[in-house]
């Protein structure tokens, strides 16, 4: 497990890209999209500009 907020752990993970896995999922909304997003944000989710995802994607 890598703490993506820790620059040292992220740097170490970049040296071993074979150990990094990305998962992508798709789900249907059971409620309105806005309500689902609100609940995700309330439970600790964050809106991202996608830069971290692209960095990780380059590693694998």
pLDDT of residue 31: 93
In 3D, which of 15, 16, 10, 18 has the Cα closest to residue 53?
10
pLDDT along the chain (60 residues), means of 10: 82 77 84 93 92 81
Domain extents in the chain: 7-59
pLDDT of residue 60: 72
pLDDT of residue 9: 85
Q: What is the pTM of this model?
A: 0.51
CA distances from 60 to 2, 8, 50, 55 (A): 14, 18, 16, 9
Contact 26, 20 (CB under 8 A): no
pLDDT of residue 29: 85
């Amino acid at each position: 497990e890598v703490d993506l907020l820790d620059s040292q752990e992220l740097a170490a993970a970049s040296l071993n890209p074979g150990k990094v896995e990305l998962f992508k999922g798709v789900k249907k909304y059971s409620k309105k999209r806005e309500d689902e997003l609100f609940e995700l944000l309330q439970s600790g989710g964050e809106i991202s500009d996608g830069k971290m995802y692209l960095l990780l994607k380059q590693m694998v």
